[in-house]
Amino acid sequence: MCASAALPVRPELGRLLYLFARIMRPTTCVEFGTSFGASLLYIAAALRDNGRGHVFGTELNRAKLARASAYVERCGLRPQATILEGDARETLAGVEGPLDLVLLDGWKELYLSVLQVLEPKMRPGTLVVADNLSMLPEAYTDWVRDAKSGYVSVSLPLGDGVEISLRQV
């Protein structure tokens, strides 16, 4: 993949994230794979419209982080959004829980390890949205589809597919 590629969520997934965040009225959200910030903006806009909550994004690429930060600023969403620079397995480990909404949309091979870093911070009822289902490693889908892991999951045919999982424990 080109480091300068935008890789945004599709508009229908963005609207779904906005709806989830409006309905759930989350306090703390996290996003793995901010890129240029499209999904972060949908979530942050919902938090603004709710009058509460904060989303923490994470981005490894400095140029993308700078561009996403500029979009957050331009949209007036700085009070609702923070983008952390670095490896999500490290940066998101520092976000305090409980987590209410998690979006996984970065390197597909890292979805499971990022999720497992976040699990101790999740409350029962945390919603996990994983984009690009058709590209996900089997280990991730096996994990969230196994009731022993503490999730109930459903796949939706949006774009390349989305796996939506509810944390039950």
- What domains are there in the chain, each with its CATH number? 11-167 (3.40.50.150)
SS3 of 37, please? coil
169 residues of the chain, pLDDT tens digit each: 344 445 567 899 999 999 999 999 999 999 999 999 999 999 999 999 999 999 999 999 999 999 999 999 999 999 999 999 999 999 999 999 999 999 999 999 999 999 999 999 999 999 999 999 999 999 999 999 999 999 999 999 998 899 999 999 9
Quick one: DSSP state of residue 110? G
Structure tokens at 154: 């459903």
SS3 of 85, please? strand
User: pTM, whole model, 2 decimals?
Assistant: 0.94
Bridge partners for 119 per DSSP: none
How far apart CA 107 and CA 147 sit, in angstroms, is 25
Half-sphere exposure of 87 (CA within 13 A, CB side): 5
